[in-house]
């Protein structure tokens, strides 16, 4: 992943989110391998921002929605939810947490709520939500494979 800290435009559009305690609390939870939830969300956010910018889409909403897409704030490896499995429920928990802390536009809400499509069943409504959905899966594979030791058979 290209270092986002050199991208002043990207930093400016997410700086208020990164300054918030709830967003920083994502650093307390591991996501994939040795990657924290916050690092994963930054990875997805920056990659989505770059692709949406290239395509002429709403890169600001993509960056902000992607940064908040996993704002569920619990260890999904150990916590068992009362109603449903983490993979199906966490987008709604993240949306509730994000809506409590920030004013979200419709694209950002759709990104958070539907980033686990097709598990969420309902199709994303906006092209930016499709981009984040795909980038999230891409980043997850990259982050997971970084920690896999391949053996020759």
| Domain assignment of residue 73, yes or no | yes
Q: What is the CATH number of the domain that holds 127?
A: 1.10.3210.10
In a domain, 85, yes or no: yes
CA distance 109 to 112: 5
pLDDT at 84: 60
Distance separating alpha carbons of residues 138 and 153, to the nearest angstrom? 26
What's the pLDDT score for residue 59?
97
Using CA atoms, how far apart are residues 58 and 10, in angstroms rounded to an integer? Answer: 13
Q: Residue 153: inside a domain, yes or no? A: no
Range of the domain at 74: 4-145
* Domain tally, the chain: 1
pLDDT along the chain (153 residues), means of 10: 71 93 81 79 94 97 94 62 61 88 95 83 91 92 71 51
End-to-end CA separation in angstroms for the chain: 30
């Amino acid at each position: 992943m290209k270092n986002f800290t050199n991208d002043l435009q990207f930093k400016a559009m997410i700086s208020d989110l990164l300054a918030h305690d709830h967003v920083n609390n994502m650093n307390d939870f591991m996501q994939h391998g040795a990657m924290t939830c916050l690092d994963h969300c930054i990875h997805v956010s920056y990659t989505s921002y770059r692709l949406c910018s290239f395509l002429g889409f709403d890169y600001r909403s993509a960056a902000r929605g992607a940064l908040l897409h996993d704002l569920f704030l619990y260890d999904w490896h150990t916590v068992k939810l009362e109603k449903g499995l983490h993979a199906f429920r966490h987008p709604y928990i993240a949306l509730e947490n994000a809506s409590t802390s920030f004013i979200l536009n419709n694209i950002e809400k759709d990104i958070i709520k539907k980033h686990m499509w097709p598990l969420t069943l309902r199709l994303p409504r906006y092209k930016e939500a499709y981009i984040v959905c795909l980038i999230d899966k891409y980043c997850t594979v990259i982050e997971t494979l970084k920690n896999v030791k391949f053996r020759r058979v």
